[in-house]
Amino acid sequence: MKKIIIPALLAVATLFSACSESLLDIEQKGVVDVDSFYKTDADAEAALVAAYQGFLWNICSKEGGNIYAPIHAVFNLCGDDMYAAGESFGDNDFMGAMNEFRYDTGSEVVRNAFQNIYYAMYYANLVIDHVKDADSKTKKRCVAEARVLRAYEHLLLAIGWNCPPRIDHVLAATDLPYNCDKDPENPMTHNELLEWIAKECDDAEADLDPRNGPTDKKGAVKVTKGFANAVAGKARLFAGDYAGAKASLEKVIKSDNYALVPPERYAENFHASGDANEEKIFEANLQTADGISVWWDIVDRSTWMEANIWNWRGDHFKVSPSVAYSSIDGWGGCGVPQEFGDEFYANDGDSPRFKASLISIEDVVYNLNYPAVVDEKTKKAWADMTLEDKKQCAEIGIDNRGLYGQSTWLPLKPICTPEDLVGPGQNIRVNNFVIMRYAEVLLMYAEACLQTGDTQGAKDAINLVQKHAGSATISDTVDMEVLEREKKFELWLEGCRWADMVRWGHFDGVKTAGQRVPTLYDAMSKDGESAHRFYTVYSYPAMEIRKTETGFKAGKHEYFPYPEAETSLNPNLTQNPGWE
């Protein structure tokens, strides 16, 4: 390979070095000089579009991850409410290492997430730097939207890395930024960074458009006053400024520009039919249109093969349920802890929320539609089978390999449906990327109320969420335990659980992560029984196979490490405790 590449590089170098200066001194066509740009309202709008595109590419897509969205992965995998599953131990181990706390400073998930946030921030800073002397309403709005995007990006960094560099301008190539608490010019503690984030949103609010009521779809896919106040409220909540958080979040609630969807529409929040609905505070708009290239335009802005990696492991079933439900097959990367599923069901019953989030293995095997199945013994077609017939049908169920990392509850919330895909059978999701829902605002507000003695305000907010979920539990009294449980169920896999566990110090569920991993078996194929019976066997594969310990370690895993790819180049970036 080197014999081919090196001469090619030498040829390119020779080509440019051999050109005369007169040949190089030609005005480049189709390019606008930086000094000539950022002058008009149209220029500001164009720069802002690029900032949204940068946000979509780096925060919401598979950029760098290829088969997963790094932001999805880094803020969900460490929680106590999921397994990084798959074909077997070691399958897509970049995710398994995060889930079991085996990751290190070279983790690709951590690196991609960290770098992508700063890449997105660069586009926002371009707008802010070059349009900062705004002399029109349009320019001021563009700067304000970019400031809130940048504030949200800093919020992700503060939650994940504690005291990351605060980047409030476009860096020069030679700049080596410090952790925010060690910045020699303007040091900020973790909480001071969070307050700066909130203040950025406060200052931007006046120049932002509001969402014009719950039916305003355009107002759900851009930065508005509502999103600015929601980000400010979340930053203050994480800083422990509960009164400030309550005030910021109350603005969102009292605006009347958002509403929870009713129970019968609950599931649409996670599918294309719910794009920009009344519950969305902000989501990145993956717009498709005729003439847009599926590969270069849509794939590069989507989560792409995440549609496969989070989907059920279809090839370990006799007949793939993935194809029956979503039209594409999956790799089984998302598993549900038995305890989480049992607790969720005990709380909700057969609520629309529960049925949009999880599904039992019995429902997958017996109640999805497999029209091509014919029982070889009885010759009955699928449509003619009773439940008892299905329980004894050898043509369905799990094969003898089982489902690694799965309990008797399987995920449903992250599983795409045909409407979410660019086309049936294609693994490219085109539904919008949800950043924040109104349900999260209400639950954050409820927490702020509890922490400031407003129990009635907390109860009202929690009850609203429970009713929109169709939950069997409508709380008569509320406290932090009720709030935590409700938030755990409502915002499952929405990047909230791990961050909440860290700030609440609730690590019991992850201290033994990776030490009791289930494999779900079907007794008919595994043990030769005459009827299907589903059961789990637990193992500690990291130790058994690699002699590697797993589990959360206090004083280390509260925050992600700064990637080795960054610390090796920047001596000013101090590594987080436990990762030195």
pLDDT in tens, the chain (580 residues): 333 322 332 232 332 233 444 444 555 555 566 666 788 999 999 999 999 999 998 998 887 777 888 999 999 999 999 999 999 999 999 999 999 999 999 999 999 999 999 999 999 999 999 998 889 999 999 999 999 999 999 999 999 999 999 999 999 999 999 999 999 999 999 999 999 999 999 999 999 999 999 999 999 999 999 999 999 999 999 999 999 999 999 999 999 999 999 999 999 999 999 999 999 999 998 765 556 676 667 777 788 888 899 999 999 999 999 888 989 999 999 999 999 999 999 999 999 999 999 999 999 999 999 999 999 999 999 999 999 999 999 999 999 999 999 999 999 999 999 999 888 888 888 899 999 999 999 999 999 999 999 999 999 999 999 999 999 999 999 999 999 999 999 999 999 999 999 999 999 999 999 999 999 999 999 999 999 999 999 999 999 999 999 999 999 999 999 999 999 999 999 999 999 9
Which CATH number covers residue 197? 1.25.40.390
Asked if residue 413 belongs to a domain, the reply is yes
Conformation bin of residue 304: beta by default, left when phi > 0, alpha when psi is -120 to 50: left
Comparing C-alpha atoms, which of 531, 497, 536, 526 is closest to residue 342? Answer: 536
Same domain? 61 vs 166 = yes
* Token pair for 208: 């932002």
Same domain? 79 vs 217 = yes
CA dist 45 → 145, 148, 297, 415 (Å): 11, 16, 20, 35
Asked if residue 324 belongs to a domain, the reply is yes
Asked if residue 91 belongs to a domain, the reply is no
Asked if residue 494 belongs to a domain, the reply is yes
* Token pair for 487: 């938030």
Q: How many domains are there within the chain?
A: 2
Same domain? 232 vs 118 = yes
Residue given tokens 């990351």 in the structure block: 164
Same domain? 532 vs 489 = no
Domain of 312, in residue numbers: 306-430+516-544
Q: Collapse the DSSP code of 86 into the 3-class scheme (helix H, G, I; strand E, B; otherwise coil) and give the result.
A: strand
Same domain? 377 vs 446 = no
Straight-line distance from the first to the last Cα atom of the chain, in angstroms, rounded to the nearest whole number: 37
Asked if residue 21 belongs to a domain, the reply is no
Same domain? 423 vs 444 = no
Same domain? 233 vs 322 = no
Which residue blocks in 401-529 are alpha helix, DSSP H? 438-451, 455-469, 480-490, 497-504, 523-527
Same domain? 233 vs 363 = no
Same domain? 331 vs 449 = no
Same domain? 341 vs 426 = yes
CA dist., res. 65 & res. 74, Å (int): 11
Same domain? 232 vs 139 = yes
Same domain? 378 vs 422 = yes
